[in-house]
A and B are shown apart, each in its own frame.
Chain A
């Protein structure tokens, strides 16, 4: 079973990098990705992000998300085809001249897909190569309140637990002759026997979780860090390069508006 968004213990390029550097990296990548309208540039960034995953030895984990990204791209392109026809008509989705496929809509759909793919992959590389504890410490240092960090940490931590629990509940109900339903509507209708125990168990767990947080003093007592991560040469180089890339990009895209 693949666990979604879980830290993978390896010795890769990103594992050695300071979490702060990685946060800067996804901010720069994210900014450029959102601001640009150039599909060629987006393709280049996507390749770069995949290359980074390869260099960080987490490409296999990243590729596991490809099914999700492909499904998403189909949905995006369908939505843009239906809602924002623009430009030249290339053909029709339905015979008889219904649902025209236009260049403008295709362009918008591909743009959206590429943007989401880059954001998802870079965020994933960041999360699975960073010990959650370092991640939380860094977020705390850059001023994110500790309650939010704890919330983020718990959300990440419980993803696989809920996956495993959902499977156990599903098995228990199958053993009672439960029929998971066929098709989209069938599935929705038959969701109660699995979803209700899952949510009830999670809620009853929340009380103990809260008490545990208080009894360990995670919100109240001061922390004396055991291992302090420092910026190494790699971090400084990456930050330098990213800074230059960002400045060049901003200069190239924003300056033309003023002149």
Chain B
């Protein structure tokens, strides 16, 4: 279906090739799983295979890409290729152009020369497969991340191509959302579609995958069936996050103060009339590493926004370091609670990594900002990036930079919302090691996560949330 022969490509602004010497032959009906660290060239490989690099990008190109036996150069343009290959990019927001789910899917169906009856039949069947019937009149801004992913997938299916290329289709999804995408893909594979996808969560896709491609530094490092590659240490580190031994270096150096630094009592929060939190109580003490797990919409993010005053309670109290978090200004609470949001790109605005880190320290008047900045660079493994532009860093580095920015303000409590989104197993472990070191310094860590495995292997206390309430709170040590 798709052949890549010795493909190399350097972006116009790039110094080295983003991918080099990539050869891959994709057979009809096959599911290829591409993985590797962030910045390894997975997205570039997808765009090469879809003919996008050839037709839409400048830069240095080598090698040959053929789609259904025909060199991509011989297709007049993307519009023709898009009759054969459907591509889903990793940012669902940018691929929703219309203002309702139904319109979005219709926009693709209406450009295939079908009769109104055929369009209607396919529209319904596609919305059934992707479980979107109930959402057909929703606007994109009113959809969750997982729903957006499904709409984009549905629209790509509407193009009716035999080949699907999906770039991280489950990056922002919880367990349930990921499973629903996997089950859609299973049906498509059964229909005979050829699927190429880049992903990190191998364990969810195991039944689906015929061959595994592991990328590193722009090259194909390993290629084979999952059984062939399971013995390879590098491959294992990438696809199966391994946190073994991580608990060993977390014992606090000094016995932490048992007095809670954050105390939540009977917290209720409503968005308009809709209750998001319905009576939550918990204490967080220094030196604790807490995971908050639960489905999308269970109130996790709403809860943590109360810790630094971004949200104020409808009723109930939140006390942070003796201050009432219902009234104290956010800038004052930021001294105690540092909040790292899910998407690091929502905070970067400075010209260099160093300036980015110093922003928070200068705002709070932390002494010796330069020394603090240097220490943060060292702690988060970013010394090499001091003078780089933050947005040029890889996803893994950007995530660590986001943590460094918050850490530099020296909060007693560090709260992270999904800190391993879009990271491979090895990068996720790096982030966990940083957090473990912080815990040893006596700081409290609160991490919102979808990953049960990470919660169980790295933290000491797991709080499960369900429709606005804590359904279980289990301490595992101490």
Contacts and interface: CB of A to CB of B under 8 A. Distances in A.
Interface of A: 3, 6-7, 9, 131-133, 150, 153-154, 156-157, 160-161, 164-165, 168-169, 171-179, 192-194, 196-197, 200-201, 204-206, 208-209, 211-227
Nearest to B78: A214
Contacts of A173: 347
Contacts of A214: 56, 77-79, 82
A6 B330 contact: no
A168 B107 contact: no
Contact of A223 (B110, B338, B343): B110
Contacts of A197: 345-349
Nearest to B113: A224
B334 interface: yes
Given A175-B339, A214-B78, A216-B155, A9 B137 contact: yes
Given A174-B330, A197-B346, A218-B111, A212 B140 contact: no
Q: Name the residue among B81, B94, B334 with the largest chain A CB count within 10 angstroms.
A: B94
Contacts of A3: 139, 141
A161 B93 contact: yes
A197 B346 CA distance: 6
12 contacts: A153-B98, A154-B97, A157-B96, A171-B310, A175-B338, A176-B363, A177-B364, A209-B95, A211-B87, A221-B111, A224-B110, A224-B115
B192 to A, nearest CB: 21
Contacts, number: 175
A133 B103 contact: yes
B341 A226 contact: no
B441 interface: no
Nearest to A132: B99
A175 B103 contact: no
Contacts of B406: 175-176
A214 B81 CA distance: 10
Contacts of A200: 345, 348-349, 391
A222 B111 contact: yes
A212 B89 contact: yes
Contact of A216 (B89, B108, B308, B343): B108
B116 interface: yes
Nearest to A164: B141
Contacts of A225: 110, 116
B103 to A, nearest CB: 4
A226 B113 CA distance: 11
B334 A172 contact: no
B141 A177 contact: no
In this complex, the interface size class of chain B, counting residues with CB under 8 Å from chain A, is: 35 or more
A111 B47 CA distance: 56
Given A133-B98, A193-B349, A223-B111, A175 B155 contact: no
Given A217-B111, A227-B116, A212 B95 contact: yes
B234 interface: no
Interface of chain A, helix or strand or loop or mixed? helix
Interface string B305-347: 1001010000000000000000000110011001101010111
B99 A7 contact: yes
B106 A226 contact: yes
B341 A168 contact: yes
B18 interface: no
Nearest to A176: B360
Given A175-B310, A216-B107, A157 B98 contact: yes
Given A176-B347, A214-B77, 6 more contacts: A6-B141, A168-B343, A174-B331, A212-B97, A215-B78, A216-B108
A161 B341 contact: no
A200 B351 CA distance: 12
B451 interface: no
Contacts of B95: 208-209, 212
Given A216-B155, A220-B79, A227-B116, A177 B94 contact: no
B341 to A, nearest CB: 5
B9 to A, nearest CB: 16
Contacts of B468: none
Looking at A6, A9, A176, A192, which has the most chain B CB atoms within 10 Å of its CB?
A: A176
B345 to A, nearest CB: 6
Contact of B330 (A153, A175, A220, A226): A175
A157 B94 contact: no
A226 B120 contact: yes
Interface in B23-67: 50, 52, 56
Contacts of A218: 97, 107, 111
Nearest to B87: A215
B363 A213 contact: no
Nearest to B86: A215
B414 to A, nearest CB: 11
Q: Lowest 10 CB-CB distances: which A-B pairs, in order?
A: A177-B363, A196-B349, A208-B94, A160-B141, A221-B111, A205-B94, A176-B360, A175-B339, A215-B82, A220-B79
A158 B438 CA distance: 40
A171 B341 CA distance: 9
Contacts of A227: 116
B75 interface: no
Contacts of A226: 106, 109-110, 116, 119-120, 123
A194 B359 CA distance: 13
B111 A201 contact: no
